[in-house]
Amino acid sequence: MPQPPDLEGQTTDLHIAFPANPAVIRDTLLRILAVPPLSGLSAEARGNAELVLAEVLNNVAEHAYPERAGPVSILLRRVDDGVCCQIVDRGLAMPGNRLPEGELPDRLNLALDDLPEGGFGWHLIRSLTCDLIYVRSHEENRLSFRLPDDG
């Protein structure tokens, strides 16, 4: 059973790696939120950070590593106006080597059967981050963004 990383004594920038497995992701997220730099954010910004990181990491688990849980790393750095994040994995590339648009359907007065059950993730990520950049190189996916601290 893969174990989440030990974050005792965490004080400044955070750089950790762990297997992209749903249970480990959930446990690691809860630990990351409790230590700097995310613990220094407002309650609202921390809630946004939890949601964005959960969406990004679960996408890695589901789409980059569909067969087995591979390694993912997170680098978090406090800046004046928030926290800069970089998330790196060595799994499959994004389709077309670019980020999904995450567009919602134009109209939501759809027939019951046509209501979307997915595709919300990238919309949420795009809504709650700034400076979102995706680079595919050297067989790595490298996603970076800033979580604004405007709470």
Q: Where are the beta strands (DSSP E) in 20-126?
A: 71-79, 82-89
Q: Which is nearer to another protein, 9 or 112 (CB)?
A: 112
| 6, 8, 67, 117: residue in contact with another protein (rule CB under 8 A) | 117
CA distance 27 to 25: 6
Q: Is 90 in the site for another protein (CB under 8 A)?
A: no
Q: Which of 112, 137, 138, 139 binds another protein (CB under 8 A)?
A: 112
With CB under 8 A as the contact rule, the residue among 54, 75, 93, 132 that binds another protein is: 54
Residue 25, classified by CB atoms within 10 Å of its CB into exposed (0-12), middle (13-18) or buried (19+), is buried
Q: Which of 7, 16, 35, 51 binds another protein (CB under 8 A)?
A: 51
Closer residue to another protein (CB): 76 or 125: 125
Total residue length of the chain? 151
Cα(32)–Cα(86) distance, integer angstroms: 14
101 binds another protein (CB under 8 A): no
Dig out the tokens for 117 from the structure: 């059950």
The string of DSSP letters for 10-29 reads: --S-EEEEEE--HHHHHHHH
Shortest separation between residue 2's beta carbon and another protein, angstroms: 14
Binding site for another protein (CB under 8 A): 22-23, 25-26, 44, 47, 50-51, 54-55, 58, 61-62, 104, 108, 112-113, 115-118, 120-121, 123-124, 127-128
